[in-house]
Amino acid sequence: MIRYALRRLAYAVSMVWGVSFGAFVAFGLSFDPTYSYNLCQDAPCREAHKELINRFHLHDPILERYWYWLSGLFRHGFGRSVLGDFGNGSGYDIGSAVWHATWVTAQLLAVSLVLVVVAGVGVGVVSARRAGSPLDWLVRLCAYVVWSIPTFLVGVILLHALGPSHWFDIGERESGLVGWIRWITLPAIALSVGLIGLYSRYIRSSMLVSLRQPYADVARGKGLPERQVVYRHALRNSLIPFVSVLTLDLAAVVGASLATDYVFNLGGLADLFLHSIGQADPFVLTAILVVIAALVAVFMLLGDLAAGWLDPRARIGAAR
């Protein structure tokens, strides 16, 4: 299991490094963060413009700039932005801004994934145990409907329908556990409701296959009640494809979380990304994509470890 985890960790680090290189080159060649100085012709403005170019090596070849950025990453983090919040040269600390936004987005992702796993598995099991019944048809219809609605549209509907209610906290977050629950509930539901509809279908299909396998018949022949056959035998095998598919879709889930963040104005990575696009700052944009890649890598690593724990064949195959 340790070799399996180390191999997956090496893959994750390689992916994050590849994203950092691609993002830095793409943003560095596409954006000029000093564009606001091009309209300024007085001597102090030109001097400030020249000083920013020299400080951030903006006229150096892109590969040299990436090396400066990568070597500085291990000494002083992401550094400072080229421009400040009001277009001046005193840039803000990128690391502090990115980590604050990442913490907001990570909370949204964690709560949403818990809801997806718990509700998706529960709905899928109930639907599989009552396959062909009116309840199964209703569950399948609801799953198709919620999955067909885009995440941002679900967020807008919830925001206008339930946002004015005093049960939920939209905007400023209150202190304490109750305030956190009121703040995170609607965004987490908006992000997870469509995913619950999708992944409950995977659980239902896998459960129907597992319940017809010979080991399930043997368990029934030994006198085990159907409840134990479902939860102790069929469900564990059904979770293997569920975890694998969820792991592969994590990048899309993170992308959907950015739309949810924007709709509910949570102050996460989506707000920081849009702000950085307006300033055309390649260093902040690169830092955001690196952190997003790291988030995806962490959740994929956890998913791979869960898949390896559920299915020892995955660990053995990876070792070979």
The string of pLDDT tens digits covering residues 66-110 is: 888 888 887 778 888 887 653 444 678 888 888 889 899 889 988
Distance CA 285, CA 25 (A): 11
Distance CA 205, CA 199 (A): 10
Distance CA 58, CA 70 (A): 15
Give the predicted TM-score (pTM) of the model.
0.78
Tokens 């509930």: give the residue. Answer: 185
Would you kindly state where each structural domain of the chain is located, as residue ranges?
104-319
Per the model's pLDDT, the better-predicted residue between 195 and 165 turns out to be 195
Provide the token pair at 131. Answer: 């396959």
Q: What mean pLDDT is predicted for residues 230-248?
A: 78
- Give which of 105, 112, 116 is closest to 245, Cα–Cα: 116
| pLDDT the model gives residue 111 | 92
Distance CA 288, CA 273 (A): 7
The string of pLDDT tens digits covering residues 141-155 is: 888 888 888 888 888
SS3 assignment, position 123: helix
pLDDT band at 134 (very low <50, low <70, confident <90, very high): confident
Asked whether the predicted pLDDT for residue 184 surpasses 50, the reply is yes
Name the percent of the chain lying above pLDDT 90: 3
Q: Which letter, b or e, does each residue of 223-252 get, where b requires 16 or more Cβ atoms within 10 Å of its Cβ?
A: eeeeeebbeebbbebbbbbbbbebbeebee
| pLDDT the model gives residue 40 | 72
| pLDDT the model gives residue 142 | 85
| pLDDT the model gives residue 169 | 64
pLDDT band at 200 (very low <50, low <70, confident <90, very high): confident
- Give which of 318, 320, 292 is closest to 305, Cα–Cα: 318
Asked whether the predicted pLDDT for residue 190 surpasses 50, the reply is yes
Per the model's pLDDT, the better-predicted residue between 5 and 211 turns out to be 211
Q: What mean pLDDT is predicted for residues 243-268?
A: 83
| pLDDT the model gives residue 22 | 92
Tokens 């962490």: give the residue. Answer: 298
| pLDDT the model gives residue 175 | 72
Asked whether the predicted pLDDT for residue 274 surpasses 80, the reply is yes
Tokens 């995955």: give the residue. Answer: 314
Q: What mean pLDDT is predicted for residues 136-143?
A: 85
- Give the architecture (CATH level 2) of 104-319: Orthogonal Bundle (1.10)
- The overall average pLDDT reported for the chain is 81
Q: What mean pLDDT is predicted for residues 256-267?
A: 87
Q: What mean pLDDT is predicted for residues 133-144?
A: 85
**CB neighbourhood size of 177 (10 A):** 8
pLDDT band at 37 (very low <50, low <70, confident <90, very high): confident
- Give which of 295, 315, 299 is closest to 307, Cα–Cα: 315
| pLDDT the model gives residue 87 | 44
